[in-house]
């Protein structure tokens, strides 16, 4: 039996939507969009965008797959294996997504088209680079009209980038509270006074936020007067490119970003053995999708990526993900996606009816999870009992490589240095009992010159 | 007095005089303020494009000149 349903996050645009049919993703392009789609393909823009890696490739599919009578054609896009959201991206990822959006708009104008929206949710990371997934965003250029997506671009991209640049990497999470982008007046009030010195921010955030219509909302004039030239449109795009390009973020000089996995708390032999052991375990079990939980700057994500099709590299510390992304951009690795995610407060389901944007666990489970040098931070640092950690991990991973860190370890000493030790249940035995309820413990390896233990487990 | 007139002519009049055209095939609400704001800064944006293009050409010419030297 054919099971088709529209994707929960794809419903606002009457020009088309994405749906699932028998486990495969399709895009319905409605009749109202046919002229724009024809121009997209005939003008060469589609080929240019796909060749530059800016648009997902779409292949024709049978019209009989359509969900409604409005369908003009059905397309099958390349599958994005893991959906991520702008509030999970680091500064570098959001900046690259912004620049990709502007590059797409620039190319679109060269071919007589223009983006009908500039939502950050239209961009996904595919093979490590930002790509437009919403083909129906590209419409026929409306001659003489301002860019309909200008405010959305400023709220979705420019405002959070500017706030992160001027304040702190952690500010990026504010986007989770404002799914349609950070309101410009809020961004303007939060940015420091000296941000007005930059003409781009002065124009696109501060003055834009303060702009008021001269006599309130006016009725639309349907005469289509040529009031905003293409030259002005191109000037707007270039100004936004320049403004985004000049923003940068500063990494903190201390904290987790300076902790390179293995170099701080391990003897050399233990660190080397751990790398070999994890590599061997990943190769032996050959997972397709790996989630590296508490990944820091991604050393073990890179090891897993040698074997897996896709590695999602998660850490709550935005600075470590920033460094991880910067390293990946300079490397040949295309199958690692670093994301900012706090395991003690993972992304919930958000948006309309809490269904538009999936929670982190809804996007799993992974074939294999890596929980290396992590569990003591959850159990002691965040006071989460082993039983609950085990239960949650069993929901997000089918198998697990997990490191138990005993109380005798120097890192646990640090965690307990200024607090009362209430963790009477924190022991190797209790760890094995708790995880044994949800997983079958298949391998156990002690690290030389260390009291840490690496386990391999499979979900029951 | 003349400064107020100049300000009106340069900035406010274009906004008041030019009618809003309905955005074609746009499900997204551009916001009337963003729409009008773009109209108000349109001329400056067009000018900035020209200046940017001029500086880019100047930089390319200078680079060629120094390469030959």
Size of interface A-B (CB pairs under 8 A): 128
Write the pLDDT tens digit of every residue in A217-265.
Answer: 454 543 344 489 999 999 999 999 999 999 999 888 777 777 655 455 6
* Contacts with B41 from chain A: Cβ below 8 Å: 203, 207
Q: What is the mean pLDDT of residues B28-49?
A: 90
- Whole-angstrom Cα distance, residue A439 to residue B45? 61
| Pairwise CB contact (< 8 Å): A151 & B34 | yes
Length in residues, chain B: 69
Q: Which of residues 20-79 of A touch B (CB under 8 A)?
A: 32, 36
Taking residue A425's Cβ as centre, other Cβ atoms within 10 Å add up to 14
* Residue A220 confidence (pLDDT): 52
pLDDT value of residue A415: 84
Q: Nearest 5 degrees, angle CA A40-CA A44-CA A47? A: 95
Q: Which of residues 383-422 of A touch B (CB under 8 A)?
A: none
> Residue A288 and residue A135: Cα distance in Å, rounded?
28
Q: Is the dihedral of CA A78, A82, A85, A89 positive or negative?
A: negative
Q: Of A154, A313, A175, which is closest to residue A247 (Cα–Cα)?
A: A154
Confidence band of A4 (pLDDT split at 50, 70, 90): low
Angle at CA A175, nearest 5°, toward A172 and A17? 130
Closest-CA distance, A43 to chain B, in angstroms, reads 19
Could you give the 3-state DSSP secondary structure of residue A239? Answer: helix
Distances (CA, A) of A446 to A375, A453, A455: 16, 4, 9
Question: pLDDT of A31-88, one tens digit each?
Answer: 999 999 999 999 999 999 999 999 999 999 999 999 999 999 999 999 999 999 999 9
Please say if the pLDDT value at position B24 is more than 70. Answer: no
Q: What is the DSSP-derived secondary structure letter of residue A216?
A: B
**In angstroms, what CA-CA distances link B66 with A195, B52, B59?**
36, 21, 11
> A197-218: per-residue pLDDT in tens?
999 999 999 999 998 654 444 5
* CA–CA separation, A58 and A117 (whole Å): 19
pLDDT > 90 in chain A, percent: 78
More confident residue, A314 or B29: A314
Test mutation, B25, B47, B54, chain A, max A CBs within 10 A: B25
* Residues belonging to chain A: 460
> Does pLDDT of B9 surpass 80?
no
Residue-level pLDDT at A307: 94
Q: Average pLDDT for residues A258-273, to the nearest whole number?
A: 69
| Residue A420 confidence (pLDDT) above 90 | no
Judged by CB atoms closer than 8 Å, whether chains meet at A224 and B16 is answered as no
Instruction: Quickly state the pLDDT bin for B27 (edges 50, 70, 90).
Output: confident
Residue predicted with more confidence, A411 or A258: A411
* pLDDT beyond 80 at B15: no
Q: Is the dihedral of CA A298, A302, A305, A307 positive or negative?
A: negative
Side-chain-side CA neighbours of A388 within 13 Å: the count stands at 9
B23, B33, B43: residue with CB nearest A148: B23
Question: Is A220 at the interface with chain B, CB within 8 A?
Answer: yes
Residue in this structure with the two tokens 């949650």, named with its chain if needed: A392
- Residue A419: is its pLDDT beyond 80? yes
- pLDDT value, residue A213: 56
In the block, residue with structure tokens 């983006």: A115
Is the pLDDT at B21 greater than 70? The verdict is: no
Comparing alpha-carbon positions, the chain B residue that sits nearest to A139 is B25
Set of chain B residues whose Cβ sits within 8 Å of the Cβ of A14: 27
Do B28 and A149 count as a contact with CB atoms less than 8 A apart?
yes
Show the 3-state SS of A69-121.
CCEEEEEEECCCCCCCCHHHCCHHHHHHHHHHHHHHHHHHHHCCEEECCCCHH
Least Cα separation, residue A48 to chain B (angstroms): 23
Q: How far apart are CA A271 and CA A63, in angstroms?
A: 56
Specify the pTM: 0.90
Q: Test B22 with A222 for CB contact under 8 angstroms.
A: yes
Q: How many helices (DSSP H) and strands (DSSP E) are in chain A?
A: 16, 16
Q: Look at residue A256 in the predicted model and tell me its pLDDT.
A: 79
Confidence (pLDDT) at A1: 56
Instruction: Tell me which DSSP letter residue A16 carries.
Output: E
- Its ipTM equals 0.85
Predicted confidence (pLDDT) per residue in A330-387, tens digit? 898 999 999 999 999 999 999 999 999 999 999 999 999 999 999 999 999 899 999 9
Closest CA to A197 of A172, A150, A162: A162
A-chain residues within 8 Å CB-CB of B56? none
Write down the pLDDT at residue A266: 67
**pLDDT value of position A407:** 86
Asked if A150's CB is within 8 angstroms of B34's CB, the reply is yes
Mean per-residue pLDDT over chain A, rounded? 91
């Amino acid at each position: 039996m054919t099971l088709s349903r529209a994707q929960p996050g794809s419903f606002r645009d009457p020009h088309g939507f994405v749906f699932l049919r028998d486990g495969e993703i399709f895009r319905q392009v409605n009749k109202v969009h046919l002229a724009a789609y024809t121009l997209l393909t005939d003008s060469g823009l589609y080929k240019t965008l796909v060749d530059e890696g800016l648009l997902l490739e779409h292949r024709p599919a049978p019209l009989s797959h359509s969900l409604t009578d409005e369908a003009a054609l059905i397309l099958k896009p390349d599958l994005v294996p893991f959906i991520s959201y702008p509030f999970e991206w680091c500064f570098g990822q959001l900046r690259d997504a912004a620049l990709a959006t502007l590059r797409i708009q620039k190319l679109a104008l060269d071919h007589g088209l223009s983006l009908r929206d500039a939502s950050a949710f239209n961009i996904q990371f595919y093979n490590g680079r930002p790509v437009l997934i919403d083909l129906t965003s590209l419409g026929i250029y409306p001659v003489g009209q301002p860019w309909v997506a200008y405010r959305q671009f400023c709220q979705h991209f420019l405002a959070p980038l500017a706030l992160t640049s001027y304040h702190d990497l952690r500010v990026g999470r504010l986007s989770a509270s404002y799914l349609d982008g950070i309101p410009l007046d809020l961004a303007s009030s939060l940015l420091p006074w000296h941000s007005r010195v930059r003409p781009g921010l002065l124009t696109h955030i501060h003055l834009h936020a303060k702009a008021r219509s001269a006599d309130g909302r006016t009725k639309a004039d349907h005469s289509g007067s040529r009031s905003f030239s293409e030259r002005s449109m191109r000037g707007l795009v270039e100004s936004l490119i320049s403004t985004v390009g000049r923003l940068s973020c500063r990494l903190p000089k201390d904290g987790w970003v300076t902790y390179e996995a293995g170099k701080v708390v391990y003897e050399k032999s233990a660190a080397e053995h751990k790398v070999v052991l994890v590599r061997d375990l990943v190769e032996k079990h050959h997972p397709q999708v790996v989630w590296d939980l508490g990944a820091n700057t991604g050393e073990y994500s890179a090891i897993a990526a040698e074997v897996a099709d896709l590695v999602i590299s998660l850490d709550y510390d935005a600075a470590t993900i920033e460094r991880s992304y910067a390293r990946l951009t300079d490397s040949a690795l295309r199958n690692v996606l670093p994301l900012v995610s706090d395991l003690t407060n993972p992304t919930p389901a958000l948006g309309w009816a809490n269904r538009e944007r999936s929670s982190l666990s809804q996007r799993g489970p992974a074939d294999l999870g890596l929980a290396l040098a992590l569990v003591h931070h959850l159990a002691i640092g965040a006071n989460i009992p082993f039983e609950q950690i085990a239960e949650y991990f069993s929901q997000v991973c089918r198998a697990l490589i997990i490191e138990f860190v005993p109380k005798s370890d120097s890192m646990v000493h640090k965690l307990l240095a200024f607090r009362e030790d209430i963790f009477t249940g924190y022991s190797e035995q209790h760890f094995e009992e708790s995880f044994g309820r949800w997983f079958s413990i298949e391998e156990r390896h002690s690290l030389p010159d260390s009291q840490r233990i690496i386990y391999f487990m499979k979900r029951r | 007095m003349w400064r107020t007139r100049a300000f009106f002519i340069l900035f406010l009049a274009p906004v008041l005089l030019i009618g809003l055209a309905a955005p074609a095939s746009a499900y997204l609400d551009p916001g009337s303020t963003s729409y009008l704001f773009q109209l108000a800064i349109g001329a400056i944006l067009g000018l900035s494009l020209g200046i940017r293009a001029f500086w880019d050409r100047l930089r390319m010419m200078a680079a060629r000149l120094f390469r030959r030297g």
